[in-house]
Amino acid sequence: MKKLVALLAAAAILAASCKNKEKAFEVQPRDTSIVVQNSFSTLFFDSTQLETFMTGETLNDSLTARIRSFYNSRNFQYAWFDSTGLAEQAHSFLNMQSQYISYARDSSVYNAKLGQLLDSIGSRPDTLAYQVPGKDRLGYELLLTEYFFRYAVKAYQGDNQLDAQGLGWFIPRKKLDLSAVLDSMIGKKGATAYEPVNRQYNLLKTELLKYYAIEKEGKWDSIRMDKPVYKPGESGEAIRQVKQRLTLTGDLSATDTTALFDTALVSAVKHFQKRYGLKQDGAIGKNLLKELNRPIQERIRQLLINMERLRWVSAELPADYLLVNIPAYTLYVYESGQLNWTMNVVVGAVAHNTVIFQGDMKYVVFAPYWNVPPSIIKNEIMPGIKRNPNYLAQKNMEWNGGNVRQKPGPGNSLGLVKFLFPNTYNIYLHDTPSKSLFGETNRAFSHGCIRLSEPKKMAEYLLRNDSTWTADKIGAAMNSGKEKYVTLKKTVPVFIGYFTAWVGSDGDLNFRDDIYGHDKKMAAKMFTN
């Protein structure tokens, strides 16, 4: 399934630290070159007025520094007003803020005075839309800047009170120059309403609004079945209810409300099963019913959780990269910014979570040894040796110093090739002799590393620009029985992400189970009721 529109995934990239608390903000020096003659606005104020304002507000050190730095950089020129009154960018920001508060259900960035200003603007004729009494101008100016920064931190970077690493996320969280974002909005007069977020974020926001509408409609009743499975051609009241539900979710376009399981419903059921990562058998059974009956509020929270994760990742991704979305059990190969192909993967079991992080692919290793991790030696191999003195020989293993390794060959746990992106978690991509697991819908079976369903294709892709490595030579190296390291001429970014809701390149909204409980932990932090 082609999905994860330039996501993610995710993905995530970048610049900064995963810490919750912002580092000390460096205040920019005052730019005295900005004067009335070279400014878009003739309005300026005194620095002492800013200090008086900030003394009266409840501001943390970072926010105080941001505001002070912003006005220093413009020599205390007004940002939200010009000679005619309240500027267009103020109206644009107030609308963006209001929309965010509504869809994110986040009242922490609300200010009653600014809310009244927005209401006042909206109730006046167009010719008076931007007029504010002169005596109130400076107060509104500074309040708008304060709440822009409050809003931008939450809406564009994510909640700083959420400990990303504590929630299992080790991809560096995005950091933005929010003063530059504000300057850009002011320069464009808010016309483009630019938001520095990943495209996937806005796609999920669109879906979130649809789910709010469904919630408001109040037709998300629990579906009950009087038999374990319904198949095409059968009838029943549950069939009618399923049709109504799939019409709400957009899987069934027809308005048919009969109780007959017809061909249109078969197609709709398969489409729903595809979006939810279920076996696409077209039958209505317990797994389908479980997903259909999840409360609408649970789906809304799932969307909000994944949108929060997307605030942590960069709006821009590299041209070429690999993305593994753990809950989707899928690897996505992006080339020149476009999804090229995908493959099924096996990820870590619940007891051996695959870590969420990023790295750079550097090596292809043909016919690899498997250096057995100490935990597996302790918990599996040593007990095996006690039971059977020939255990190592039967597993094609040998002692290597004080460690155990498995020799190259088709029975090697890493298969015939592995792909290394050096990291402290000892996680990598690799082949496997256990091919049957790729046919399962739930593919969380490994000790943490990621098994590939098409390892030779991956090797050919990574070495595609090296003419010395033909498909035949790659195949021979995989089956040589002799370990060989190949260093890539150019490293490839790898992102191991965790998204349980996303919109695919086909436009479909996808949901997956929270296999590691990361959503549950985030929900406990994000929602208080």
How far, in Å, CA of 133 to CA of 146, rounded? 20
- Using alpha carbons, select from 336, 361, 331 the residue that is nearest to residue 462: 361
How far, in Å, CA of 455 to CA of 453, rounded? 6
Task: Residue 219: count other Cβ atoms within 10 Å of its Cβ.
Answer: 12
Beta-bridge partners for 357: 496
Positions marked catalytic:
430, 449
- Kindly report each contact of residues 27-33 with a partner whose C-beta sits within 8 Å and lies 24 or more positions away, as own/partner: 27/65, 27/68, 27/69, 27/72, 28/69, 28/70, 28/72, 28/73, 28/179, 29/72, 30/72, 30/73, 30/75, 30/76, 31/72, 31/73, 31/74, 31/75, 32/75, 33/75
- Using alpha carbons, select from 479, 375, 367, 355 the residue that is nearest to residue 421: 355
3-state secondary structure of 239: helix
Contact 325, 332 (CB under 8 A): yes
Sheet with 403-406, edge to edge strand ranges: 370-371, 403-406, 397-400
3-state secondary structure of 431: coil
Q: From residue 428, give the alpha-carbon distance in Å to each of 152, 370, 417, 423.
A: 36, 12, 11, 9
* Contacts (Cβ under 8 Å, ≥6 apart) of 420: 361, 362, 363, 364, 365, 428
The token pair at 410 is 């088709």
Residue spans of beta strands (DSSP E) within 58-125: 81-82, 85-86
The token pair at 102 is 């509504």
The token pair at 23 is 């580092």
How many residues appear in the chain?
Answer: 529
Beta-bridge partners for 484: 366
How far, in Å, CA of 362 to CA of 360, rounded? 6
The token pair at 292 is 């259909």
Contact 510, 277 (CB under 8 A): yes
How far, in Å, CA of 431 to CA of 453, rounded? 7
